[in-house]
Amino acid sequence: MRMDSESYGDLVVADDVLLFVNAAITSTGQREFHSDADRQRLSLDFLHAYMLGNYRDLYAGVLALDINDHNAVLIIRGLLETPGEATADQRRSEGRLIASRLARMPPQRVYKLFDALRRAKVNNRRTRAIMRDWLSARQDLAFDAVKYRGSLKRALRHAHLTPGTEELGTFLFAPAAHAHYATPLLETWRRAHYEQSALYELPYTVAEGFAAKHGIPRNVFLERITPRLTRLETLRLQESARARGITGVQADLARMPLTRLATYVLSLPLEERGRRRAELTRALESAAARVAGSHQGTWGKVTAVLDDSFSTSGSAHKRRRPLAVALACRYLLAALADDYIALWTSGRTDALLTYPYGPSPVGRRILDALDTAPTRLVIVSDGWDNAPPGLAAEVLRIWRTRLDSERRTSIVHLNPVYDAADFDVRRLSPTVPTAGIRDAEDLPALVELAQFAEGRTGLAELIAYMDTRAARMTQAHPQEEAR
């Protein structure tokens, strides 16, 4: 009896952790197609408070999984705000995980976190040490001083730190005190106040403010700042530049991340996608091959059911995001499979020209997919099956319990949308594992994680998996442990 009680308790813990992981992967607290931002934030805040209060070790360990940066920041803040609830060993472990996760984040995210900690008056010794170590690991603090000047100043003050050099300190706190800076970037910033040509040597976001101050026409500014643009800035600006007749702003699509590239493709009019078919297809296939890596062509016969119904249009904050994930998964699965078939819920066969439209006959497409006798069936859908309602759940139940009880066909459902009402991603069937997905790049790891949602492995295996991911992350980003 005691054994059964312990087993049931482990099952509850594993379910709680997986539920939270799904939320931390998919939700950013923004409006989704079926729920508004307030419900999303309220639901997400509850899960964070529940996990922190009940499973602190596992809550911290989730930092090593493929969760989005929004939730990683919330976890880090929650851990740093409650140091008194952690043991010395927990603080050491958390310090390593936090430092490694911060090293993977965009700097603007980290500075935003530091600002939030300052406003919340979180200023314990561990927090100051983590801020100190992250700032000392920055490759070019002068660049941060120019691009994130206000945030860097506030971080230094809050952590009671001094800038790396006296000149940097002067630039941050009394920039007009120097008539000349020895550091080239700082001197360029100073000259940009009165010399227009100097602003084109600054980062785009900084130069944009100087261009407005000097009254430089937008088309002139874009044309001259092009060499300073990052890959993502180029991708974001190339369409507006093209509309102004500027041809130099051209992103190298072959080097873009897969999901971001899919988002860009869907932002283009159908006519342009058709006209640029060869270029866009080549870029998507190249990005997918990079993600697949050594696993390319090793997944056997794969059939995918991909949702392109109207609900995949997302929201004002996440325009076409669910559809972009499905499109990216379509190309990644093609790279992973030896034999591949993609079935869109709309019945369309041209992936490049897909767009959100119509109901969600997921159940019908699953029937079509099972007819192909795949080794793996991957379903990418927001979980709303409404043509007819409930067919997908019934098809999957009968398939699992009567037709394929030996599980010759591996089935996994990947859902890019968080359902605030259920505190989880919406599931198609209890007989099939469901995992949240935000970026298609995480698909191989999420398929691996889905085995725990299927109930065939227990809490011990889940913890071992999280420990392995944590060790891998901390080794990939070694930093001095915050003490």
What's residue 250's pLDDT?
Answer: 67
Mean pLDDT to the nearest integer, 417-444: 87
Q: Per residue in 6-62, pLDDT tens?
A: 576 777 888 889 889 999 998 887 777 767 778 888 999 999 999 999 999 999 999
User: 223 versus 143: which is more confidently predicted?
Assistant: 143
For the chain, give every domain's residue range. Answer: 1-160+457-483, 192-256, 259-286+293-438
What's residue 251's pLDDT?
Answer: 67
Count CB-CB contacts under 10 A for residue 36: 12
**CATH for the stretch 259-286+293-438:** 3.40.50
The token pair that represents 470 in the structure block: 């944590």
Whole-number Cα distances in Å, 207 to 140, 196, 214, 284, 465: 18, 10, 10, 32, 45
Confidence of residue 3 (pLDDT cuts 50, 70, 90): very low
225 burial (CB, 10 Å; 0-12 / 13-18 / 19+) is buried
Residue 426 phi/psi, 5° resolution?
-70, 135
Using CA atoms, how far apart are residues 232 and 475, in angstroms rounded to an integer? Answer: 28
Using CA atoms, how far apart are residues 252 and 354, in angstroms rounded to an integer? Answer: 23
- Local structure of 418: helix, strand or coil: strand
Which has the minimum average pLDDT: 79-88, 327-336, 380-389?
A: 380-389
Confidence of residue 441 (pLDDT cuts 50, 70, 90): very high
Using CA atoms, how far apart are residues 389 and 379, in angstroms rounded to an integer? Answer: 17
- Looking at the chain, the whole-number percentage of residues with pLDDT higher than 70 is 93
445 pLDDT exceeds 50? Answer: yes
Mean pLDDT to the nearest integer, 381-387: 86
230 pLDDT exceeds 50? Answer: yes
Tell which residue, 299, 310, 263, has the closest CA to residue 283.
263
First to last CA, the chain: 44
4 pLDDT exceeds 70? Answer: no
Which has the minimum average pLDDT: 3-12, 385-394, 395-404?
A: 3-12
Using CA atoms, how far apart are residues 249 and 415, in angstroms rounded to an integer? Answer: 35
The token pair that represents 166 in the structure block: 């006296």
Question: If residue 191 lies in a helix (H) or strand (E), which one and from where to where?
Answer: helix 184-191
What's residue 243's pLDDT?
Answer: 64
Mean pLDDT to the nearest integer, 370-388: 91
1 pLDDT exceeds 60? Answer: no
Confidence of residue 247 (pLDDT cuts 50, 70, 90): low
C-alpha of 431 from chain center: 27
301 pLDDT exceeds 90? Answer: yes
